[in-house]
Structure 1
Amino acid sequence: MVARRVVVRGRVQGVWFRQSTLREAERLGVDGWVRNRADGTVEAWVQGDSAAVDVLVAWCGEGPSRAEVSAVDVEDVPADSSLRGFSVR
């Protein structure tokens, strides 16, 4: 299992980014959460199978069709054993 904290920059709020991330995470079987931040970015904590997490992180670089992603910051973090499923915060 791997875990990563992802911060997505650009036009990423108000474009269904969080809901689309939820759908992708559920499709891939990844645990974690996603939320809007006050600075206009979207932050996600994703963990699970390495290949699935890599796919979700790569997807965050594109986002839903109305998003305009300018940068994605990715940080390896310790897995959180209390996380089950994926949620929008």
Structure 2
Amino acid sequence: MKTYHFIIKGKVQGVGYRITTQLNAQRFGIKGSVSNLLNGDVEIFAQGDEIIIKNFKKYLKIGSIMSKVEIVEESILDKDNFENFKIIY
């Protein structure tokens, strides 16, 4: 299964972006993780069907009510399977 790697840039830390991402991932049945990076970006690993990931990406661009997403960078990686979707603190 493909693992999609996203880097989210903008106002995405301290605004509920990670919890919103986790809730959307769970709703879509996506496995992976979301975490804050030291530079202010958010990193997401997501595993799921290509069409589901495409829809999930739409929500990554929206973010939480208080966030302001400016850029969504995407790549595909070979990575181990995830058991669920979790926030990494």
Q: TM-score range by the shorter chain?
A: over 0.9
Runs (5+) with no aligned partner, structure 2: none
Partner of residue 13, structure 2: 13
Per-residue deviation, 1:79: 4.2
Q: Which residue of 2 aligns with 1:23?
A: 23
Instruction: Provide the C-alpha distance between the structure 1 equivalents of 2:41 and 2:80, rounded to a whole number of angstroms.
Output: 22
**Could you tell me the percent identity over the aligned residues?**
28
Task: Indicate the SS of the match to 1:24.
Answer: helix
C-alpha distance in structure 2 between counterparts of 1:58 and 1:7, whole Å: 14
Displacement over 6 Å in runs of 4+: none
Question: 2: distance between equivalents of 1:24 and 1:87?
Answer: 12
TM-score (norm 1): 0.93
Q: Structure 1: which 5+ residue stretches go unaligned? A: none
* Greater Cα shift, 20-29 or 45-54: 45-54
Q: Show the counterpart of 1:58.
A: 58
RMSD over aligned Cα, in angstroms? 1.0
> CA offsets, 1:37-70, max 9 Å, x none?
0000000000111111111122111111111011
**Structure 2: distance between partners of 1:52 and 1:78:** 18
Alpha-carbon distance in 2 for matches of 1:37, 1:62: 19
Q: Which residue of 2 aligns with 1:88?
A: 87
CA separation in 2, counterparts of 1:20 and 1:64?
Answer: 6
- Does residue 34 in structure 1 map to residue 34 in structure 2? yes
| Alignment correspondent of 2:45 | 45
